[in-house]
């Protein structure tokens, strides 16, 4: 009999302050309203929504001025996605709707003061929805929640640092501390942070990459010896075909749509592979081309393959079989034999294994007809230059690393690496998640990096590998880790198994978060808790030597400088580097010889050290001041593979079989259009037709009928994993175009259903895109009203 655990309404036992606060948002008071899905992305609506949001949060003049500086050379960096800016001339409006929301959200005039925390207890705040928490504004003072207290209270920075230092230094081992990092952290802050953590004595540096593109890095590193994308933005001007798989650019990377539109207009073929049709890859109206606002928009995707959830390996194998069969019909004309023979290993083993895969299994697992697989393969074969783009739709499965490596296999068949207009493009979802890893935010640092770090700062870095995100959660839950520190992010809402994670955090002696705004992670705490408010990307960073700038690395490995232009939200805010330095001084004391104050006084000094430690940053301060920044080295573009034999590796993987019992479905989690990661701006997802609500489950209409459900029915979702059940209550059924026995929901609402021990092989990324669930009529009162 299955063990039911972590019911959303179950009380979670814990001994710490705030044990009676909810780790989950409250149920929605009214059902969402469903309208017809949008058939086109962008256009006048997108422009108006961006302006309305920006002006509403920042004011008309301040908002307009800020948006005009966004993503400009030496301007303000969008804290949103990591899609790159053009190398040459840039538009005066180099931002998208989502970027405008994100910047306005950070630069809001609303403030969360000590008086706010005095008025609202932690328990009262936990009863509010996530969108309400975010809408309260910028946190103005450091705040502490003392043991057994019900309210946060103001604390000065000296006492806050001393409290953290005391708890860290009282640990039996440095490995009892967890130091998390969000992708919003700049290169300079990330480098200082990992330096402090390693001088403290641990490699426990989990980060948000563990939960998103870790599978991309792991898969590419094994196959190619390099874990980053291999293309530049210029390659999109040269390619003949673009495959977009497991990605929704219209919501998650809207500026990418401009690149796709430009490619489409010059004749490039675009193939979209995804379980759900998405407006952004169907049709697009460029918001700056006002003369197109009244038309139907430009069609982007030439071919849409509505693959079953986690049917990607099967689909890719199907395409590869078509490529090999075409080679048999036209020997020497299809495969790039020179590339395969000179630069790869394992082709014959790969070819033999693929021949043994039955076409019937491919069609069954992928849900795609043979005709459509042939159509996709034809586009691939007939295109001299191909780019493959992907995001979390591929990286959050148990077989996620295999997903990535099958793309590599396919691309190597025709030598689509190391030439202009072709290559691999994992599209990162946070502005500096890639840069943080480059700076050393990794629980598995290489010996070479540690050797250089130790030599530069004259100490012996720890060599034992640390804990990634899922194993850090387990360590806290088991009492093996007792202090949790987060440099940015909303850890509770971003991670899997929400109630398990909440219990893990409650078992800590101290939890501390560097933040700009209130989120649910501040309300589920250890015995003591701190909120440490920092400057935002939009704000002036004034230090002893004058105003400072910071740098980030985008998805295509461009490092660029960014300068805040707005006055800080409060005089009590510190920059992230200053917070790290203050914590390091308080914790390490005489154990460190580093002049932390000097590094914070002038960030050029931090960059000088980065130059000595991190490859590719030669003359860092000089090159980053050049308009547009500089590219980091990319060995794949030069056909250099840092693998044991110096060659790219063909790999062999089984089909990803999903065995569902009667009444079970495969669920994927995803963002809404009013959301950036765990930050909820509003309750609408207009591209999918959802308004004023988020607790919905998208289902195939035939599944609704066969299982005797109905449109708008209130249901509970139950996940199944190794004999355990997890429950999320009160979701409304929405009929949608999605493959049979597949469902989709929004995160973080359904993260409660994702088991902490269910993660990708090798990369340990939570398998949030393939959760087995059953759907039951809700135990709550059901109005039985239809939503559409």
pLDDT in tens, 342-387: 999 999 999 999 999 999 999 999 999 999 999 999 999 999 999 9
**DSSP secondary structure letter of residue 759:** B
* pLDDT, tens digit, 9 for 90 and up, residues 652-690: 999 998 889 999 999 999 999 888 888 888 898 888 989
Computed from CA positions of residues 63, 66, 71, 76, in that sequence, does the dihedral angle turn out positive or negative?
negative
Where the chain has pLDDT below 70, the residues are: 1-21, 70-71, 73-74, 77, 90-95, 285, 287-291, 293, 780-788
Q: What distances in angstroms separate CA 253 from CA 213, 310, 548, one per listed residue?
A: 15, 22, 28
- Residues 542-591 pLDDT 10s: 999 999 999 999 989 999 998 999 999 999 999 999 999 999 999 999 99
Going by C-alpha positions, the residue among 353, 265, 450 that lies closest to residue 653 is 353
Q: Beta partners for 138?
A: 111, 517
**With contact defined as beta carbons under 8 Å apart, do 97 and 105 qualify?**
no
pLDDT of residue 78: 72
Whether 627 contacts 74, CB under 8 Å: yes
CA distance 207 to 180: 5
Q: Are 754 and 765 a contacting pair, CB within 8 Å?
A: no
pLDDT at 285: 67
pLDDT value, residue 46 = 73
pTM value is 0.94
Exposure string over 99-127, b if 16+ CB within 10 A, otherwise e: bbbbbbbbbbeeebbbebbeebbbeebbe
Task: Note the pLDDT of residue 59.
Answer: 83
pLDDT at position 283 is 73
Q: Tell me: the pLDDT tens digits for 284-324?
A: 767 666 667 677 778 889 999 999 999 999 999 999 999 99
């Amino acid at each position: 009999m299955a063990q039911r655990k972590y019911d959303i309404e179950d009380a979670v036992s814990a001994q710490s302050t705030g044990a009676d606060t909810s780790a989950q948002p409250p149920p929605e008071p009214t059902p969402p309203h469903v309208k017809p899905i949008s058939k086109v992305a962008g256009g006048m609506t997108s422009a108006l929504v961006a302006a309305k949001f920006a002006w509403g949060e920042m004011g008309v003049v301040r908002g307009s001025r800020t948006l005009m500086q966004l993503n400009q050379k030496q301007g303000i960096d969008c804290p949103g996605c990591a899609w790159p800016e053009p190398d040459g001339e840039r538009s005066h409006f180099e931002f998208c709707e989502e970027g405008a929301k994100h910047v306005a959200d950070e630069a809001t005039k609303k403030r969360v003061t000590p008086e706010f925390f005095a008025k609202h207890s932690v328990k009262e705040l936990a009863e509010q929805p996530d969108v309400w928490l975010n809408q309260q504004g910028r946190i103005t003072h450091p705040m502490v929640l003392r043991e057994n207290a019900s309210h946060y209270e103001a604390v000065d920075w000296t006492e806050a640092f001393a409290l953290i230092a005391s708890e860290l230094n009282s640990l039996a081992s440095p490995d009892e501390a967890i130091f998390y990092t969000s992708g919003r952290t700049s290169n300079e802050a990330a480098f200082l942070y990992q330096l402090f953590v390693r001088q403290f004595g641990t490699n426990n540096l989990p980060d948000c990459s563990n939960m998103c593109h870790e599978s991309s890095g792991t898969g590419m590193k094994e196959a190619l010896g390099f874990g980053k994308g291999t293309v530049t933005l210029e390659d999109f001007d040269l390619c003949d075909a673009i495959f977009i798989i497991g990605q929704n650019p219209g919501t998650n990377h809207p500026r990418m749509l401009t690149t796709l539109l430009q490619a489409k207009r010059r004749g490039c073929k675009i193939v979209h592979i995804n379980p759900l049709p998405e407006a952004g890859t169907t049709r697009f109206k460029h918001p700056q081309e006002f003369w197109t606002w009244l038309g139907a928009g430009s069609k982007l995707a030439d071919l849409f393959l509505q693959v079953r959830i986690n049917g990607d390996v099967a689909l890719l194998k199907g395409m590869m079989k078509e490529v090999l069969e075409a080679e048999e019909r036209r020997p020497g004309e299809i495969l790039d034999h020179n590339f395969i023979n000179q630069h790869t290993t394992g082709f014959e083993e790969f070819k033999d294994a693929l021949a043994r895969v039955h076409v019937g299994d491919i069609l069954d697992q992928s849900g795609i007809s043979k005709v459509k697989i042939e159509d996709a393969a034809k586009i691939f074969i007939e295109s001299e230059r191909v780019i493959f783009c992907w995001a979390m739709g591929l990286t959050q499965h148990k077989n996620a690393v295999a997903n990535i490596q099958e793309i590599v296999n396919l691309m190597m068949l025709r030598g689509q690496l190391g030439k202009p207009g072709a290559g691999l493009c994992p599209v990162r979802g946070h502005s500096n998640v890639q840069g943080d890893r480059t700076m050393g935010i990794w629980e598995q640092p290489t010996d070479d990096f540690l050797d250089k770090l130790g030599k530069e700062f004259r100490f012996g870095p720890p060599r034992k590998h640390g804990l990634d995100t899922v194993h850090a959660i387990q360590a806290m839950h088991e009492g093996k880790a007792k202090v949790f520190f987060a440099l940015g992010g909303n850890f509770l809402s971003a991670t899997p198994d929400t109630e398990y994670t909440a219990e893990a955090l409650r078992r800590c002696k101290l939890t501390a978060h560097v933040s700009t705004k209130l989120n649910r992670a501040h309300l589920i705490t250890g015995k003591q808790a701190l909120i440490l408010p920092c400057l935002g990307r939009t704000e002036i960073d004034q230090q002893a030597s004058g105003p400072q700038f910071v740098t980030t690395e985008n998805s295509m490995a461009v490092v660029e400088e960014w300068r805040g232009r707005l006055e800080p939200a409060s005089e009590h805010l510190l920059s992230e580097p200053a917070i790290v330095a203050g914590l390091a001084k308080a914790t390490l004391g005489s154990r460190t010889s580093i002049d932390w104050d000097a590094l914070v006084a002038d960030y050029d000094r931090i960059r000088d050290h980065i130059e000595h430690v991190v490859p590719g940053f030669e003359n860092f301060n000089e090159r980053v001041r050049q308009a547009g920044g500089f590219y980091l080295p990319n060995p794949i573009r030069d056909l250099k593979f840092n693998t044991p034999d110096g060659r790219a590796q063909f790999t062999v993987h089984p089909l990803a079989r999903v065995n569902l019992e009667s009444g079970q479905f495969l669920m994927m989690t995803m963002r809404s259009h009013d959301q950036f990661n765990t930050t909820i701006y509003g309750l609408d997802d207009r591209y999918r037709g959802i308004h004023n609500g988020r607790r919905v489950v998208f289902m195939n209409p035939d599944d609704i009928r066969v299982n005797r459900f109905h449109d708008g029915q209130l249901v509970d979702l139950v996940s199944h994993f190794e004999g355990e059940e997890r429950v999320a209550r009160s979701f409304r059924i929405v009929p949608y175009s999605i493959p049979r026995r597949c469902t989709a929901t929004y995160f973080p609402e359904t993260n409660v259903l994702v088991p902490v021990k269910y993660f990708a092989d090798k990369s340990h990324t939570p398998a949030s895109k393939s959760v087995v669930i059953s759907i039951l009529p809700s135990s709550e009162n059901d109005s039985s009203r239809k939503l559409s």
